[in-house]
Structure 1
Amino acid sequence: MKFTGAICIAFVLIFVSSLARTNAVVEEGTNGVCVPGELKPCIPAVQTGSKPTTECCGVLKKQQSCLCGYIKDPRFGQYVKSKYAHMVLSTCGVPYPKC
C-alpha cells in the first residue's frame, strides 16, 4: 500500500515538473487559449483531496471550457479524471465536463 502511495507521489511530482518546464497551450476554450500550468494552485487539492483554494477555484472557472481538452491529452487526462479532481470541481461549483 505504501509503495502505491510512493508511485502516486512520483507521478504528481513528474506532472508538476512538466508544468513548470512547459508553456503548453491548447487552442480551445472561450478565451482561445488554455494554459495547463495555470492549474498549479489545484495540485494539492487534486493530490490529497483537501479543500481547494479560492485561487484554484478561480482558475478552474476560468478554464472550465478547457477541461475536455485536458482530459483528452495523455499528459493531463489522468489528473482531471481522478476521484479527487471530481471532488475539487464539485467544491468549486464547476460541473464535470461531458466530452
Structure 2
Amino acid sequence: MKAAHIAVCTLLVLLLTETQVSTAVTCSPTQLSSCVSAITSSAPPSKLCCSKIKEQKPCLCQYLKNPNLKKFINTPNARKVASSCGTPYPKC
C-alpha cells in the first residue's frame, strides 16, 4: 500500500513538472538547427533533432507564418522528419 502511494505521488510530480516545462517553451527557430541535415537531405533525424522538434512543437505554426522559415519547414523532407520523430505536422 505504501509503495503504491509513493508511486502515485511520483507520477503526479512528473506530470506536473511536464506541464510546467511544456508551457514554458521559448520559441526559437535556432533550436531546430540539429534538424537541418535531416531536412535538407535524406539523412534520418537524430535523437536531439526529435527532442527539439517535440520541444518546439507549440511554435511550429508561428514559424510557418514567417516567409524566411516557411521555405524550410513546409517541405516534404520536413514533414518526413516530423513524422519520423512522432510529431504530427501542424495544421495551422
Match for 2:40: what amino acid? Q
What TM-score, normalized by structure 1, do the two folds share? 0.68
What corresponds to 1:72 in structure 2?
Answer: 65
Structure 1 outlier segments of 4+, above 6 Å: none
Within the candidate set 15, 24, 36, 2:29 is matched to: 36
Partner-residue secondary structure (3-state), 1:93: coil
Matched positions, count: 71
What corresponds to 2:44 in structure 1?
Answer: 51
- Quick one: structure 1 residues 57 and 32, their matched pair in 2 at CA, closer, same or farther if it must change by over 3 Å? closer
Is 2:88 the counterpart of 1:95?
yes
- Structure 2: segments with no counterpart, 5+ residues: 1-21
Partner-residue secondary structure (3-state), 1:40: helix
Which whole-Å CA distance do the structure 1 matches of 2:41 and 2:83 have between them? 15
- Structure 1: segments with no counterpart, 5+ residues: 1-28
Q: 1 or 2, which has the higher helix percentage?
A: 2
Deviation of the 1:50 alpha carbon: 1.2
Deviation of the 1:40 alpha carbon: 0.6
Partner-residue secondary structure (3-state), 2:68: coil
The C-alpha deviation readout for 1:4-57, integer Å capped at 9, x for no partner, is xxxxxxxxxxxxxxxxxxxxxxxxx83252011111100000000210000000
